[in-house]
Amino acid sequence: MDSRPFRIGTRGSRLALAQAHEVRARLMAAHALPQDAFEVVVISTAGDRIQDRALSEVGGKGLFTKEIEEALLDGRIDVAVHSSKDMATAVPPALALTAFLPREDVRDVFIGRKVQSIAELPQGARVGSASLRRQALLKRMRPDLDLVIFRGNVQTRLQKLERGEVEGTLLALAGLNRLHAAGVAGEILDVEAFPPAPGQGAICVEQREADASTMEMVAPLDHPETHRALLAERAFLAVLDGSCRTPIAAHAQAEGDAFRFHGMILTPDGARMHETRLTVSQGDATQAAAEAARRLVAEAGPDFFAGWFG
């Protein structure tokens, strides 16, 4: 490693910084380096700056990564740290996702202003969520709810909830755990009935593909089981052209030497849903997940997707 600090690029929210600091701590431990051998570089993204509209209206997931990836490409940072669920299905040429840290809890949680569970919400209660997947799943459970777009980082959403802008919201348990804030959760939602977004709960590291020294630095951080699971989930997503415009859930979970895979597609109103469940060897999981997505597309029919890209 040369004399300059190894630069870790990240968004500036408390959760993003917690994830970047976890990567730094793991790099320090893996290479017996002091903290000052690393620099955490905060990069503002369009997704952080645009708070008044749904991501699907202004460009999708790339809004959380574009500026960070530009910094990688022009050499201002050495690696980027992302929430895997924020990553588009294809990364820019010359960049690669080279490490996935051990996965946190994949489940979603409901946080209510006055109640502890979704079932306890009064008829027609307003619930805020920035995720079309969560909105569609909620509509299947409670068609009566008034669902509104709810942007912002974890703290912003909790403040909006406290002010009474909504009666409830949904967040990822992984993020709350990383912020040591899981105590705010009211109801932890069952992963089988309320499956996660592809990549949920996993931190990934992105770098320049041709940067061999950085690849060597990052390699000890990769958790093979998480990496294989994420490849399967992202393969499922890629077939469906998944973005923030599409309600898609996917979860690959190790079961001995195999993976149990659960994939789901929904219409945005939650009225129609198709899902797949399979158990495959870990080596076959990526191909099997992609094939499962193709079967769901055929089963759903072309009209199912007509409203996804309005």
What is the mean predicted confidence (pLDDT) over 292-299? 94
The three-state DSSP-derived secondary structure of 290-309 is HHHHHHHHHHHCHHHHCCCC
The three-state DSSP-derived secondary structure of 2-67 is CCCCEEEEECCCHHHHHHHHHHHHHHHHHHCCCHHHEEEEECCCHHHHCCCCCHHHHCHHHHHCHH
pLDDT for 148 equals 92
Q: 188 pLDDT exceeds 60?
A: yes
- DSSP labels for 176-210? HHHTT-GGG-SEEPPTTTSPPPTTTT-EEEEEETT
More confident: 235 or 46: 235
What is the mean predicted confidence (pLDDT) over 44-48? 69
pLDDT for 243 equals 46
Q: 61 pLDDT exceeds 60?
A: no
Domains along the chain?
6-101+202-222 (3.40.190.10), 108-188 (3.40.190.10), 223-300 (3.30.160.40)
pLDDT for 310 equals 45
Q: Decide if 78 is catalytic.
A: no
CB 228 within 8 A of CB 285: yes
pLDDT for 282 equals 86
pLDDT for 48 equals 61
pLDDT for 60 equals 54
Q: 112 pLDDT exceeds 50?
A: yes
Q: 52 pLDDT exceeds 60?
A: no
CB 203 within 8 A of CB 100: yes
The most confident of 155-164, 215-224, 245-254, by mean pLDDT: 215-224
More confident: 202 or 152: 202
Among 168, 1, 7, residue whose Cα is nearest residue 81: 7
169: three-class secondary structure by DSSP: strand
CB 108 within 8 A of CB 173: yes
- Compute the distance between CA of residue 87 and CA of residue 234 in angstroms, rounded to an integer: 9
pLDDT bin (cut points 50, 70, 90) of residue 151 is: confident
pLDDT bin (cut points 50, 70, 90) of residue 19 is: very high
What is the mean predicted confidence (pLDDT) over 64-91? 93
Q: 47 pLDDT exceeds 80?
A: no
CB 121 within 8 A of CB 168: yes
The one catalytic residue among 2, 48, 74, 86: 86
pLDDT for 241 equals 74
Supply 103's token pair. Answer: 């996965």
More confident: 214 or 66: 214
pLDDT for 303 equals 83
pLDDT for 64 equals 73
pLDDT for 54 equals 52
pLDDT in tens, 83-103: 999 898 889 999 999 999 999
CB 26 within 8 A of CB 101: yes
Q: How many CB atoms lie within 10 A of CB 262?
A: 20
pLDDT in tens, 119-150: 999 999 999 998 999 999 999 999 999 999 88
Percentage of residues in the chain with pLDDT exceeding 70? 91
Q: 290 pLDDT exceeds 90?
A: yes
